[in-house]
């Protein structure tokens, strides 16, 4: 399991067997999206791998909204609400 996946699951109390909903449409999330992208060279220090920058998305929402500047502020807003509701 990738480090950023562990960070997300621990922060929200998920287990590997749990249904994790997409933060946008509530379908089953299959991707963890970095809201602030790690960039083409990756993120060698793991600075982008923090719960404030990770959101669970289904494949459709990740394709439609992820890594597009026009949606970045909206994704941050949705994720902030998700964090607040989870008591983060």
The predicted pLDDT at position 65 comes to 95
Mean pLDDT of 33-57: 80
The predicted pLDDT at position 37 comes to 83
Mean pLDDT of 63-72: 93
User: Is the separation of the CB atoms in 31 and 65 below 8 Å?
Assistant: no
pTM, rounded to two decimals: 0.87
Question: Does the pLDDT at position 73 exceed 90?
Answer: yes
Q: How confident is the model at residue 46 (pLDDT cuts 50, 70, 90)?
A: low
Tokens of 48: 């982008």
Residue by residue, DSSP assigns the chain as --HHHHHHHHHHT--TTS--B-TTT-SB--EEEESS---TT--TT-TT-SGGGEEEE-HHHHHHHTT-HHHHHHHHHHHHHHHHHTT-
The predicted pLDDT at position 39 comes to 67
Specify the higher pLDDT residue, 68 or 47: 68
Question: Does the pLDDT at position 12 exceed 60?
Answer: yes
């Amino acid at each position: 399991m990738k480090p950023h996946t562990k960070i997300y699951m621990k922060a929200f109390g998920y287990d590997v067997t749990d249904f994790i909903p997409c933060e946008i449409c509530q379908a089953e999330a299959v991707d963890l999206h970095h809201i602030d992208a790690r960039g083409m060279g990756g993120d060698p220090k793991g600075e982008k791998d923090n719960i404030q920058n990770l959101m669970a998305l289904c494949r459709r929402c990740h394709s439609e909204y992820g890594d597009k500047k026009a949606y970045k502020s909206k994704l941050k807003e949705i994720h902030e609400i998700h964090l607040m509701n989870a008591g983060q």
